[in-house]
Amino acid sequence: MSTQNPLTLVTPVNPEKLPRLRKILESMKETLEKGNHVLMDFEKASDIHYLRWLIIDDKNSPFTKEEDKGRSPKLVYSSNFDGSVEKHLDDLSSDGLKPIQDPNHPHAIDPNENLMDQIYGCCTDYPEPGNRTPDTRKKFFKANIVKVAAFYRGSPRRSVKQILQENDLRIHLKQLLEDRPWNGATALEMHRTLQKEILEDPKFSWAKEKFKMPRINYFKLGLLGLVILILLPVVLIWVIIVQLGYEKKDKYYENYRSDLNAEKVEILEEYEDLTAGENTDESDPHVKNMVINYQNQFSQLVDLKPGKVRRITFKAMMLFARVLIPIQFVDGRLMNIPTIHFARWVLFDDEKRVLFFSNFDGSWQQYLGDFIDQSGWGLTAIFSNTTVFPKTNWLGLTGILSMRNIMPTSKNFFPGGAYNEEHFLAWSRDTELPTDIWYSAYPELSIKNVNNNSWIRVLLQKNLNKKKAKKFFELI
Measured CA to CA, the distance from residue 455 to residue 451 in angstroms comes to 6
Share of the chain above pLDDT 70, in %: 85
Q: How far is the C-alpha of 292 from the C-alpha of 294, rounded, in Å?
A: 6
The 3 state secondary structure assigned to 86-133 is HHHHHHHHCCCCCCCCCCCCCCCCCCCCCHHHHHHCCECCCCCCCCCC
The pLDDT, as a whole number, for residue 32 is 75
- CA 271 centroid distance within chain: 15
Reply yes or no on whether the pLDDT at 99 is more than 80: no
**Residue 408, helix vs strand vs coil:** coil
The answer, yes or no, to whether residue 356 has pLDDT greater than 50, is yes
* Whole-number Å distance between alpha carbons of 310 and 316: 10
40 neighbors 10 (Cβ within 8 angstroms): no
Burial class of residue 380 (count of CB atoms within 10 Å of its CB; 0-12, 13-18, 19+): buried
User: What is the pLDDT at residue 111?
Assistant: 61
CA 186 – CA 466 distance, rounded (Å):
9
Going by pLDDT thresholds of 50, 70 and 90, the confidence category of residue 289 is very low
Domain boundaries, the chain: 1-146, 160-210+446-475, 211-445
* 360 three-class SS: strand
Residue, of 115 and 271, whose pLDDT is higher: 115
The tens digit of pLDDT for each residue in 15-58 reads 999 999 999 999 888 877 776 654 456 666 679 999 999 999 98
Give the pLDDT band of residue 434 (cuts 50, 70, 90): very high
Average pLDDT score over residue span 380-405: 85
pLDDT of amino acid 270: 77
12, amino acid identity: P
Q: Does the pLDDT value for residue 66 go beyond 80?
A: no
Q: What is d(CA 417, CA 315) in angstroms, rounded to the nearest whole number? A: 19
Q: What is the pLDDT of residues 199-215, one digit of tens each?
A: 999 999 999 999 999 99
Side-chain half-sphere exposure of 114, counting CA atoms within 13 A: 20
What CA–CA distance (Å, rounded) separates 392 from 397?
10
Residue 449: in which H helix or E strand, if any? helix 447-461
Using DSSP's 3-state secondary structure scheme, residue 289 falls into helix
Local confidence band at 104 (pLDDT 50, 70, 90 cut-offs): low
**Segment 398-425, tens digit of pLDDT:** 887 655 555 554 455 578 999 999 999 9
> What whole-number distance in Å separates Cα of residue 354 and Cα of residue 38?
33
Give mean pLDDT, residues 294-319. Answer: 96
Q: 82 φ, ψ to 5°?
A: -95, 145
- Kindly report, residue by residue over 117-153, the tens digit of the pLDDT: 999 999 999 999 999 999 999 999 999 999 999 999 9
Cα–Cα distance measured from residue 66 to residue 71, given in angstroms and rounded to the nearest whole number: 11
**Helix pair 187-199, 160-179: axis angle to 10 deg:** 130
Q: What percent of the chain stands above pLDDT 90? A: 70
What pLDDT shows up at residue 278? 40
pTM passes above 0.75 = yes
Q: Span 466-474, mean pLDDT? A: 93
C-alpha distance across the termini of the chain, in Å: 23
Contact between 11 and 74 under an 8 Å Cβ cutoff? The reply is: yes
Dist. CA 429–CA 269, nearest whole Å: 10
Write the burial class of residue 191 (CB in 10 Å: 0-12 exposed, 13-18 middle, 19+ buried).
buried
**12 close to 123: Cβ distance less than 8 angstroms:** yes
**Per-residue pLDDT at 280:** 40
Strand bridging mode 295-303 / 340-348: unpaired
Average pLDDT, the chain: 88
